Amino acid sequence: MKFAVIVFPGSNCDVDMYHAIKDELGEEVEYVWHDTENLDQYDGILLPGGFSYGDYLRTGAIARFSKVMQEVVKAAKAGKPVLGVCNGFQILLESGLLPGAMRRNESLKFICRPTQLKVVNNETMFSSAYGDGERIQIPIAHGEGNYYCDEETLERLKANNQIVFTYENNPNGSLENIAGVVNEQGNVLGMMPHPERAVDELLGGADGLKLFQSIVKQWREANVVKA
């Protein structure tokens, strides 16, 4: 499986994401600059964390207009797995690939620490390697991770089982403790915690590796069926 790690001006977790795929997962991966106009050669798209375009206007608001985002939307519509982590999640929200918005943390402070999550939906292409209700530890590092959506959207998220991860102890005020959601088709995941920083015990834990393993497993199974 071949992954693209999208790099925007201001990205700073692209190297972490690259390492997780290449060295821990053992799959092919390339850095892809924000002005790239074709992603057809890639099987999976990864939007890393950081401060794209300095977080001017709103987090992810400028990155949403990068040339590459037209291709990310195209890949999402084609059913390819698209993962946005932290700033990548914010970009997916701004681009309309996921519902909702991000607000400043309730504390109005940047938070960087390990966080306990609960896997509330293990039937997605990103979470199938986890057990139902499994508790995992994934680090967070954000100042605007307070997920919000209106009541109608929240009910739709619940009805469609689109909430994948929730916080055990809410660090940022996020609505309903939401830490990660998928689109209705189930192939686009946005999450604030950083699974790429939890892929080896040397990093303090490897609970995030199962997320990437889930993607590869689901992709291979789908392509075997097609073949």
Q: Which residues form the catalytic set?
A: 86, 194, 196
For residue 131, what is the DSSP state? Answer: P
CB 195 within 8 A of CB 212: yes
Q: How far is CA 154 from CA 141, 158, 159, in A?
A: 24, 6, 9
Residue 119: beta bridge partners?
Answer: 165
Q: Is 204 left (phi over 0), alpha (psi -120 to 50) or beta?
A: left
Identify how many contiguous H helices and E strands the chain contains and give both numbers: 5, 11
Among residues 182, 164, 97, which one has the least CA distance to residue 127?
164
Cα–Cα distance for residue pair 199/24, rounded to 1 Å = 7
Residue 47: beta bridge partners?
Answer: 84
Cα–Cα distance for residue pair 189/208, rounded to 1 Å = 14
The three-class DSSP label of residue 141 is: strand
The three-class DSSP label of residue 189 is: strand
Residue 137's Cβ-count burial label (10 Å; 0-12, 13-18, 19+) is: middle
